[in-house]
A and B are shown apart, each in its own frame.
Chain A
Amino acid sequence: MHTMHWTWLNAPGLVPAVLAAVLLAQALALTLRGLRHLRPRSGDAGSVDRALRWGAGRVVLTLALALAFAFFMGRVPFAVLTAFFVFAMTLAFRGTTAWKAAASALVTAATVTWVFTRVFLVPLP
């Protein structure tokens, strides 16, 4: 049986350990600074909480639809799934009218499927 020989010099865990230590030190510095100021610095893009409060529902809806698309890939024919997804998402976000959304969905599904399977020879799910 082959036995692997390594010392601390070339151990697979060396780099992750060093990186973890560096990240820990940086996180500690940020935490200490946060505790000292007790409020976000000016120029700071703001906390995740504050940033997400605005439009959180829209982000969750986008993610839910995106996850549903990924989940149904391979279970539903790709062209059909694409048409449903584009229609649902365009309509959910009031991107355009129902007729235009339906037209956009059908054109996208047909074009994507045809171009990538016939022109770019890319495998589709």
Chain B
Amino acid sequence: MTPWALLIEFTRLVTNPMMVGLILLGAQIGIVFGMLPGLTATMALSLLTGLTFGLPVDYAIAVLIATYVGAITGGSRSAVLINIPGTPAQAAVCLDGYPLAMQGRAAEAIGLSVTASTLGTLFGVTMLAVFAPLLGQVALRFGSWEFFWLAIFGIVIAGSLTAPADPIKGWMAGFLGLLLATVGLDGIHAFPRFTFGRVELQAGFALIPVLVGAYGMGEILSVMRRDERLVVETNLDRVLPRVREVLRHWRHILRSGLIGTTIGVIPGVGEDIASWVSYDTAKRTSRTSERFGQGSIEGLIAAETGDNACIGGATIPVLTLGVPGSAPAAVLLAALTIHGLQPGPLLALKHPHVIAEIVAVFVVATLAVFVLSLIFVRPMVRVLLIPRQALMPIVYVLAVVGSFAIAARQFDVYVMLGFGVLGFLLQAAGFPVAPLVLGFILGPMADDNLRRALTLTAGDPTPFFTRPISAILVSFSVLTVLSRTPLPAWAAGRFRALRQRPGGAA
């Protein structure tokens, strides 16, 4: 992708009033979803994927991207004002945003968080523009062996990072997702699996009802379980921050941007981890680390830049490998597939303009979110006060319409409800939902490629371990699993014992 191609797409985009209007609409929907606790970026994208199904592909993707950026940026509003993150990505923002609001600096905190989010998104999108074509070239060398390991690596790493206290639960959720993806006619012989003679099950579970159920319905149940009312008590004066004030923190912005983008590229991990790692790194490297957690501007900027930079990072593997970097990116992947684009190594070959177009949409959407976030601060605070119990029925109606719209089947509504209950129960038992959904998306990739590879080699499994990229992927997967077992601690203990023994190695 050349700068000229990007410039052409950018010009084409901003001169299309319909496109600009839809981006503004998507950005505003995203901000509202992001700022309301219980409504997440993934839920917003899942609902809108079904609802924008009738739109031309360019428009639909523009709405979804603007919603994605808006939701990740909008979540800081509630984090700052009521100490509740709008989406999980803003949990780290609460640590310094809310103390700032308590000090009467809510407007400053909101202004800085929006600016840091904008810079983070632009950083991630720049990385997307630079690295997506390069990674796409590498991905063209992938065969069935590599794609199989890529799916397994995605499950292992996502399970490990989304359930840090108990990774086995994350891995189980991922493998359960892979298993649920095998329902229906298999991809090679069209043999029915787990269909129990039901015609509806022959095509398997459709992706959008699964996503809407796991993230949307599951969240509706979680929110309705509690009876909470929100109160906002703060003054809002000057929101727009001074340029010098922002540029003073350029080191944190660059570092968090890099961390956020890198974490975004890792399959299935996402914005919340990016935010925490950026915050933690900023705290460890800051000269005023004692102020973190008590209203530190550095902490606020690091967390916000990190989670937003993750957006561009998470989109890189979507476009080049067909593997989502985060949960909202998984929905974006599904939306691209539903609209006939084939995310993966062949995307740049079959649709050469798509990556440039997506980058241009990201840039315009980021600017739209920046402007809308700063203009409508006070009206948005009023939206924040709408009781969740009054909002969730409307969200449920949208979830039903979104699930139904793709194939006009009532069965999909029941699938959405079923996955909603499954997601709710899994979360209640400490199993993360993200690996389940990632497993469901990567299921066909793992299934078809394992059997295809074994057929190509007449049953010889050696290439799974000897092909260079395969070997790297399997090594990372095994090391990730081993690092989360008691084995490293045991080995370190043995090593220390050997060193301390008289006549030992040291």
Q: What residues of chain A have their CB less than 8 Å away from a CB belonging to chain B?
A: 4, 6-7, 9-16, 19-20, 22-23, 26-27, 29-30, 41, 43-48, 51-52, 54-55, 58-59, 61-63, 66-67, 69-70, 73-74, 82, 85-86, 89-90, 93-96, 100-101, 104, 108, 112, 116, 120-125
Contacts and interface: CB of A to CB of B under 8 A. Distances in A.
A53 to B, nearest CB: 10
A23 B396 contact: no
Interface string B124-149: 00000000000000000000000000
Contact of B393 (A59, A89, A100): A89
A15 B446 contact: yes
Nearest to B443: A15
Contacts of B175: 19, 22-23, 26
Contacts of A124: 401, 404
B51 A122 contact: yes
Interface stretch (B1-9, B97-105, B218-226, B242-250): B218-226
**Closest 3 pairs between A and B when the two form their complex, measured CB to CB:** A45-B430, A95-B389, A95-B390
B166 A43 contact: yes
B193 to A, nearest CB: 6
B408 A123 contact: yes
A55 B193 contact: no
Given A19-B179, A94-B389, A86 B394 contact: yes
Contact of B428 (A4, A45, A101): A45
* A12, A14, A93 — most chain B CB neighbours (10 Å): A12
Contacts of A43: 165-166
A18 B494 CA distance: 34
B188 interface: yes
Contacts of A120: 51-55
Contacts of B389: 89-90, 93-96
A26 B175 CA distance: 10
12 contacts: A12-B186, A15-B450, A22-B175, A41-B165, A44-B165, A45-B430, A58-B226, A70-B410, A82-B397, A85-B393, A86-B394, A116-B405
A62 B455 contact: no
Contact of B227 (A22, A58, A69): A58
Counting contact residues on chain B (CB < 8 A from A), the size range is 35 or more
Given A15-B450, A69-B400, A20 B179 contact: yes
Contact of A70 (B220, B405, B413): B413
B46 interface: no
B75 to A, nearest CB: 22
Nearest to B54: A121
Contacts of B447: 15
Interface of B: 50-55, 165-166, 168-169, 171-172, 175-176, 178-179, 182, 186, 188-189, 191, 193-194, 217, 220-221, 224-227, 387-394, 396-398, 400-401, 404-405, 408, 410, 413-414, 417, 420-421, 424-425, 427-430, 446-447, 450-452, 454-455, 458-459
Nearest to A82: B397
Nearest to A42: B165
Given A23-B176, A70-B417, 8 more contacts: A15-B182, A26-B175, A48-B429, A51-B428, A55-B227, A61-B224, A90-B389, A90-B393
A7 to B, nearest CB: 8
Nearest to A55: B225
Given A70-B414, A95-B387, A59 B51 contact: no
A3 to B, nearest CB: 11
B390 A104 contact: yes
Contacts of A116: 51, 401, 405
Contacts of A123: 404-405, 408
* A44, A58, A66, A101 — most chain B CB neighbours (10 Å): A66
A26 B387 contact: no
A122 B191 CA distance: 32
Contacts of A4: 189, 191
A44 B166 contact: yes
A82 B165 CA distance: 41
B172 to A, nearest CB: 5
Contact of B430 (A44, A63, A122): A44
Given A13-B193, A70-B413, A122-B50, A108 B179 contact: no
Contact of A86 (B52, B393, B425): B393
Contacts of B425: 48
Nearest to B432: A45
A86 B193 contact: no
A18 to B, nearest CB: 8
Given A51-B428, A66-B417, A124-B401, A16 B221 contact: no
B410 A63 contact: no
A3 B88 CA distance: 51
Given A43-B166, A45-B428, A69 B396 contact: yes
B171 A14 contact: no
A46 to B, nearest CB: 7
Nearest to A46: B430
